[in-house]
Structure 1
Amino acid sequence: MVIVTGVAALAWLYLLLAHGGFWRTAWRLPAGGAPERWPAVVAVVPARDEADILPETLPTLLGQDYPGPFRVVLVDDASTDGTAEAALAVGTGRLDIVRSEGPPPGWAGKVAAMATGVGAASDGEYLLFTDADIAHPPDGVRKLVAAALADDRALVSQMALLRTETVWERLIVPAFVYFFSLLYPFGKVNDPRSRVGAAAGGCMLVRQEALAAAGGLAAIKDALIDDVAFGRLIKRGGHRTWLGLTTSITSRRPYPRLADLWTMVARSAYTQLRKSPLLLTGCVLGLLLIFVAPPLAVVVGPTDVRLLGLLGWVVMAGTYLPMLRFYRLPVWLAPALPVVAVLYTAMTVDSARRHWLGRGGAWKGRTAKTCQ
């Protein structure tokens, strides 16, 4: 027990001091001045059965104050709820709607819809990939382009602020972003010397020339975790990328029940582990070691073990505090992170179970199997 708890404490010290500052929330969009010429931007919005939410989010895109050429391509991805009609009801200015009949063999659904949008956006020097549930501030596109041009970044991505209105959202959502940054530290993503690449699918501005040079979306056609694959694709093409947090770009999609959040995580967790039983076992053991062993040692261990466990637990909670503050949530949730980690462990195991049952990657009536 001393060895296990000691390893956990050392792991937390490493994560605190040498893991790219993953716990920091200061990664905000770099400022950029006005260029001599504003490049043409086309926003691509994959939308499958999004009629309910588009009246709330689409006007924020159509109302951008971007000084250069700008338009929106909404891809109606074989919707059955009147998504296209809902979009047209918002307004036709700056808006083009293209229809997709679903992914061709070998393609994941969302990536195929994105590719359909790219095909209708040949006039865009930059492409803004954004989800149908994302609301943007009026100056959002202008600031993204200015940041991209200021430091020759081929990809600029911001993680939208997720909803934390219900009890389950407050418990699960900040931890979701925290675990994402633990896997893909923003500091490493933004460091050209690092091989770590990622992006946040709700807001990805990319130079179309760089995307084409990297092989286009066909290079990640079967990716279920498309934003991470997209970020890696651009970075491995030798381009500068940037990923950060924001409070001005928001997701309007509600997750009122634990079941909704559970499905969101379980949809792709096993894919993140490359659908490997060995990696799944290692992940579960690692989560239990890092997140559960320290508080367990404090509760049931002898004095020396309790001290080690307390050290690990305090560092763990301390690294979680910045994310709770970012989401303006009570700091007393920080010591409860082990409980959330146990939930995420269960979600990961369930993700593998769904895959083995042929229901992996389920999203709006499609599974990973039916998307192939």
Structure 2
Amino acid sequence: MELFEMFLLSLIPLAIWCVLLAGRAGFWRVRKPGPAPAPAQWPEVVAIIPARNEADVIGGAVTSVLGQDYPAPLRLVVVDDHSTDGTAEIARGAAAALGKADSLAVVAARELPPGWSGKVWAQSEGLEAAGQLAPDAAWVWLTDADIQHGSGVLAQQVARAEYERRDLVSLMVRLRCASWWERMIVPAFVFFFAKLYPFARVNDPRSGVAAAAGGCMLARRTALARIGGFAAIRGELIDDCSLAACIKQGGSIRLDLADDSISMRPYDDWRSLWDMIARSAYTQLRYSPLLLAGAVAGMVLTYLAPPLLALAGGLRLWPAWAAWLAMALAYMPMLREYRQPLWLAPLLPLTALFYLGATVDSARRYWLRKGGQWKGRAQAPQRG
């Protein structure tokens, strides 16, 4: 390829980054709302935690939920989804240690029906049990077994939901970022998510963009009833965003980054992070080879072409250098949010290559009829 052709090619990623920075609702900025005023009357809340073989983390999750500084009744349903490691007993022990055994119900999930994804079925079982444990609860707090919340998280979420009249408020919890692989991959995961679902558009009732983060979702009970409960998303692998889309069709939703809700699940090696991405990437593309080809082309032009062209052509290919710089500058706020060194910003193309490989592998698994696996259970539909 001659220099002039390379120069023309380098203009494409520069144009892409100009559009992303100027026309994607400021997805790259880290914005967090201030405290919401307390409601005149605090509503009752019931929390639901689906748990499948979570003995190593469930105790901390139960303690963080039942230990909330919340001025109204709060009850918790833990759905034991056929665990074999003593998850249920540990959950009960954690509640008893707080002196709140009466606020916890541990229910055993029935067998997974055809057409349901495992987590959604467990949440549905939890919602049914919540009807008996807390029939007057106005809000349902959906969280995961590996999440630990600060004591004021629920109160602030309820206050915001009531003040802004939202039907769903969600927090993108802080993912663990301790190992070398987590530092390389995790901030980029949140960055890519925000690019796909700009939080400002999610929070805008006039926009059709809908998303949520399953680790911390507070849903109005009447909104869940309006959409027909979890049956509305029974087969969805990306259940949190699917729930947000259903609720936003008739109500208002909000998504923010969390300060004090933290995932305790470790990803200490590249394989666990690769599997996390590959489990649902092709689902996000609706199992479409055409969308996969478009995603590959988009990732190559947006993230890989700038450094490849810049290093191959030197300063004569200044648009490639400018695109690479724009990419790095856009990534820096998320690195600061995760307290990571800013020298990782120019390495974002390497992380993008990792994501690209995992995305292609996600399609490969689907076409080999392996689907998505989580805790020994297929999560994605198999190719017919």
TM-score, normalised by the number of residues in structure 2: 0.93
Matched residue type, 1:116: E
**Matching residue within 112, 126, 140 for 1:117:** 126
Give unmatched runs, 5+ long, in structure 1.
none
> For residue 24 of structure 1, what is the aligned residue in structure 2?
29
Once the two structures are TM-superposed, the CA of residue 64 in structure 1 deviates from its matched residue by: 1.1
Aligned counterparts of 1:250 and 1:142: Cα–Cα separation in 2: 17
How far apart, CA to CA, are the structure 2 residues paired with 1:319 and 1:93?
A: 48
**1:63 aligned residue:** 67
Pairwise mapping of residues 199-238 of structure 1 onto structure 2 (< 5 A)? 199-237=212-250
**Cα distance in 2 for residues equivalent to 1:205 and 1:274:** 27
State the Cα distance separating 1:370 from its structure 2 match: 7.7
Alpha-carbon separation, structure 1, partners of 2:229 and 2:147: 24
1:265-304 equivalences in 2 (<5 Å): 265-301=277-313, 303-304=315-316
Is 153-162 or 114-123 further displaced after alignment? 114-123
SS in 1 for 2:27: coil
Stretches of structure 2 lacking an aligned partner (at least 5 in a row): 1-5, 96-100
Counterpart of 1:85 in structure 2: which amino acid?
A: E
**Structure 1 residue 89: Cα displacement:** 1.4
Structure-to-structure mapping, 1:259-338, within 5 angstroms: 259-301=271-313, 303-304=315-316, 306-338=317-349
* CA–CA distance in structure 1, aligned partners of residues 111 and 206 of structure 2: 38
State the SS of the aligned residue for 2:377.
coil
Say how many residue pairs are matched.
369
Pairing partner for 2:199 from 165, 186, 207: 186
Identity %: 49
**Deviation beyond 6 Å, 4+ runs, structure 1:** none
Which moves more between the two structures, 100-109 or 311-320? 100-109
How well do the aligned residues superpose, as a CA RMSD in angstroms? Answer: 1.5
Cα deviations across residues 44-64 of structure 1 (Å, max 9, x unaligned)? 101010011112222011111
1:350 aligns with 2:361: yes
Q: What residue is the counterpart of 1:154 in the other structure?
A: 167
SS of the residue 2:266 aligns to: coil
Tell me what 2:268 maps to.
Answer: 256
Q: How does 1:90-101 map to 2 (within 5 A)?
A: 90-91=94-95, 92-101=101-110
**Alignment-mate amino acid for residue 127 of structure 2:** V
Q: Is the 8 A contact 1:75 1:98 kept in 2?
A: yes
Q: Superposition pairs for residues 122-141 of structure 1, below 5 Å?
A: 122=131, 123=135, 124-141=137-154
Give the deviation of 1:293 after TM superposition.
0.7
Q: CA deviation at 1:101?
A: 3.0
Shift of 1:103: 2.0
Cα distance, 1:354 vs structure 2: 1.1
1:86 aligned onto 2:90: yes
Q: Secondary structure at the residue paired with 2:378?
A: coil
Q: CA deviation at 1:303?
A: 4.4
Show CA shifts across 1:14-34 (max 9, x none).
100110111011134x42222
- The residue type paired with residue 108 of structure 1 is S
What is the rounded CA distance, in whole Å, between the counterparts of 1:192 and 1:319 in structure 2? 26
